[in-house]
């Protein structure tokens, strides 16, 4: 990659092939913007980010309190089964109640991980707490993990296709050297320097892109000598924990299986919101109906004279 732009290179010669698909990158960037700050821009972004952050912070309480409120007092299978399993033929309120309980129980653990791991992304104090919990001093300037991506998002707009204006001479040999560092690599991302004689950085990934424990960084000078090599185990405990939490939020830390579980749990959360609102509306209608009935009875018993 060069700046905010990504290019594909020939794995054998290092020759630039074409630029990455900008429309898809922009689409995913826009989706991320909606997810993090409701696609707000300028001065409205901090307010929108605070709104999504505090909403996420309240979610763990909702998840845990739901287990306490709806779990039956009698722990026999006869009473537990309607809570943890789906009831056939249920309609209306009974169906919503059953779905809300059953989906909530099965999605409890993954949803808790998804929402808790997002708190350091939303709040600088939570990000700092992760490092302090690991016994490290929080790094300066690392404020929740979103500024860099936001800058990349803004920087990618309005740029057309092209090739990087840096020298790729000797890159093929450097790529081969980087590939030898991790024999079981799956992808190697090259960060091209602005200077034609500057060192070249390679991000070597042995996973599927969202597993920081399978990533390493290798920096080579133009002659192929190692300037710096850093594996996941070489990082501080705070940085490792923070990286794991970042990708636990999306489930990527456990690969395809983790993403599948996180996706299913997120879909379950949508059903929880729907059934929860349906139950609340039914309660509100029942309360209003009882209130009108009492008012009608009061008028009948005490007619105006």
pLDDT by residue (tens digit) across 20-62? 667 887 888 899 999 989 999 989 999 999 999 999 999 988 8
Q: Which of 73, 70, 96, 68 is nearest to 84 (CA)?
A: 70
Which helix (DSSP H) or strand (DSSP E) does residue 138 occupy? Answer: none
Give 137's DSSP letter.
Answer: P
Entry pTM: 0.76
Beta pairing, strands 215-220 & 226-231: antiparallel
User: What is the distance between the alpha carbons of residues 193 and 210, in angstroms, rounded to a whole number?
Assistant: 24
User: What is the distance between the alpha carbons of residues 33 and 82, in angstroms, rounded to a whole number?
Assistant: 39
Q: What is the pLDDT of residues 185-228, one digit of tens each?
A: 999 998 877 777 889 999 999 998 899 999 999 999 989 999 99
User: What is the distance between the alpha carbons of residues 303 and 99, in angstroms, rounded to a whole number?
Assistant: 46
pLDDT of residue 142: 54
Residue whose structure tokens are 């999605």: 107
Looking at per-residue confidence, does 214 or 73 come out higher?
A: 214
User: What is the distance between the alpha carbons of residues 267 and 245, in angstroms, rounded to a whole number?
Assistant: 20
Chain mean pLDDT for the chain: 85
Q: Average the pLDDT over 122-126 and give the result.
A: 93
Give yes or no for a contact between 102 and 40, defined as CB atoms under 8 angstroms apart: no
Q: What is the pLDDT of residues 12-29, one digit of tens each?
A: 666 666 666 678 878 888
pLDDT of residue 120: 95
């Amino acid at each position: 990659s060069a700046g905010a732009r990504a290019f594909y290179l020939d794995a054998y010669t290092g020759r630039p092939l074409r630029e990455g698909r900008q429309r898809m990158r922009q689409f995913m960037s826009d989706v991320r913007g909606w997810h993090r700050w409701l696609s707000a821009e300028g001065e409205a972004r901090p307010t929108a980010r605070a709104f999504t952050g505090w909403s996420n912070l309240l979610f763990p309480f909702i998840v845990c309190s739901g287990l306490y409120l709806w779990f039956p007092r009698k722990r026999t299978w006869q009473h537990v089964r309607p809570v943890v399993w789906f009831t056939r033929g249920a309609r209306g309120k009974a169906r919503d109640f059953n779905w809300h309980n059953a989906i909530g129980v099965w999605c409890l653990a993954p949803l808790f991980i998804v929402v808790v791991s997002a708190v350091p992304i939303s709040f600088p104090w939570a990000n700092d707490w992760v490092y302090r919990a690991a016994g490290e001093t929080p790094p300066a300037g690392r404020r929740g993990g979103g500024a860099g991506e936001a800058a990349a998002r803004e920087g990618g707009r309005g740029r057309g296709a092209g090739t990087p204006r840096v020298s790729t001479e000797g890159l093929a040999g450097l790529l081969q050297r980087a590939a030898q560092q991790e024999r079981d690599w799956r992808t190697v991302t090259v960060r091209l320097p602005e200077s034609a004689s500057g060192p070249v950085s390679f991000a070597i990934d042995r996973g599927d892109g969202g597993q920081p424990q399978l990533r390493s960084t290798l920096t080579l000078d133009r002659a192929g000598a190692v300037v710096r090599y850093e594996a996941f185990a070489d990082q501080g405990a705070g940085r490792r924990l923070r990286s794991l939490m970042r990708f636990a939020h999306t489930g990527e830390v456990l690969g395809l299986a983790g993403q599948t579980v996180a996706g299913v749990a997120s879909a379950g959360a949508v059903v929880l919101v729907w059934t929860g609102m349906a139950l609340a509306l039914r309660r509100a209608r029942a309360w209003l109906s009882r209130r009108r009935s009492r008012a009608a009875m009061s008028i009948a018993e005490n007619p105006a004279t």
